[in-house]
Amino acid sequence: MYRVLIRFYEELNFFLKDQEKHRDLPVAFPGRRSMKDLIESLGVPHVEVDLILVNGNPVAFDYIVQDGDRISVYPEFEGLDITGVTPLKDRPLRHTAFVADVHLHTLARKLRMLGFDTDYEKHRDDDILAAISQQEKRVLLTRDRQLLMRKNVSRGLYIRSTDPDTQVREVLHRLDLYRHLTPFRRCVVCNALIEPLETDNPDYLRLLKSVPREILTRYKDFRYCPVCRRVYWKGRHVEKMEAFIASLKPEDQ
Ligand SMILES: [Zn+2]
């Protein structure tokens, strides 16, 4: 038997059973086991982990756990640069793009509204979601822990809340994206970048056919999605969204 002590820090305790939270947890198992397997056997998806120390030294997920190891497992550090220490991820993501699980439709639309490249389709199984995340380097957003435990998923975020507005805050907060909002530039329906609809656009009249008459008399500036052809204008829903965006700013900024 291998016997180790493992402790999870900060919000990683969210994934543990009550009696396992915030303490040195004795774990015993027979035979060879990688660090990734050990951590996930306790319910914590590896994508949530940013740093693992064994007897004080950083190790990677493929480290083979040794008898007697004392293991400390940390989540993403906020506001603390650990790039020199952590062997788990090479570099913070420059371009943040997402793929959202099928259950997160409203979150996907809200992220698009804020300008984030968010891939979403109604019918997708876990294999496809994991493959898209891996191949296109998209952060996989899901409330399915098992999905985040897959080996080919290295970018992912477990969404804790079931309320879409709170989910948006979670994503922005945990990936520190407050400074990267570019609202109203992306089609909420299909994720494409929207463009101004100019009067010399050959499709100008055809595109405006879908817009109610009272809107056409009240508004002059329109934008449209060149992919799904949805037309956008600065109506009352935009004011509502602007209020929501204003409420997103963290208190210290
Ligand atoms: Zn579109």
- CATH number of residue 16's parent domain: 3.10.20.30
Distance 40 CA to ligand 1 centre (A): 38
Distance 14 CA to ligand 1 centre (A): 37
Residue 133 lies in a domain: yes
CB 134 within 8 A of CB 153: yes
Distance 89 CA to ligand 1 centre (A): 33
- pLDDT at residue 11, as a whole number: 84
Predicted confidence band at 90 (pLDDT cuts at 50, 70, 90)? very low
Residue 109 lies in a domain: yes
Residue 112 burial class via C-beta count within 10 angstroms: exposed 0-12, middle 13-18, buried 19 and up:
buried
Do 138 and 210 share a structural domain? Answer: no
CB 128 within 8 A of CB 68: no
Distance 197 CA to ligand 1 centre (A): 14
Distance 231 CA to ligand 1 centre (A): 9
Q: What average pLDDT does range 232-248 have in this prediction?
A: 87
Token pair of 135 as six digits: 């191949």
What is the CB neighbour count within 10 angstroms for residue 1?
Answer: 7
Distance 198 CA to ligand 1 centre (A): 17
Mark which of 41, 75, 109 sits at the end of a domain.
Answer: 75
Residue 237 lies in a domain: yes
Do 102 and 177 share a structural domain? Answer: yes
- pLDDT at residue 75, as a whole number: 86
- pLDDT at residue 178, as a whole number: 83
pLDDT at 253 over 50: no
- pLDDT at residue 203, as a whole number: 92
Mark which of 182, 210, 233 sits at the end of a domain.
Answer: 182
Residue 189 lies in a domain: no
Residue 7 lies in a domain: yes
Do 240 and 163 share a structural domain? Answer: no
Q: What average pLDDT does range 216-224 have in this prediction?
A: 91
Q: What average pLDDT does range 212-221 have in this prediction?
A: 90
What one-character DSSP code corresponds to residue 162?
A: S
Least confident of 70-84, 113-127, 160-174, 227-241: 70-84
Distance 26 CA to ligand 1 centre (A): 52
Do 36 and 110 share a structural domain? Answer: no
- Residue 227 is part of which domain span? 195-246
- If one counts the domains in the chain, the total is 3
Amino acid at site 109: R
Do 47 and 22 share a structural domain? Answer: yes
Distance 235 CA to ligand 1 centre (A): 18
> Can you tell me the distance from the alpha carbon of 45 to that of 143, in angstroms, rounded to the nearest whole number?
11
Residue 135 lies in a domain: yes
Residue 90 burial class via C-beta count within 10 angstroms: exposed 0-12, middle 13-18, buried 19 and up:
exposed
**φ and ψ at residue 53, rounded to 5 degrees:** -110, 135
**φ and ψ at residue 99, rounded to 5 degrees:** -130, 125
Closest CA to 51 of 40, 60, 43, 42: 60
Distance 187 CA to ligand 1 centre (A): 5
Say what the pTM is.
Answer: 0.79
Distance 191 CA to ligand 1 centre (A): 6
Q: What average pLDDT does range 48-66 have in this prediction?
A: 92
Do 133 and 61 share a structural domain? Answer: no
Mark which of 22, 44, 75 sits at the end of a domain.
Answer: 75
Distance 167 CA to ligand 1 centre (A): 23
Do 47 and 13 share a structural domain? Answer: yes
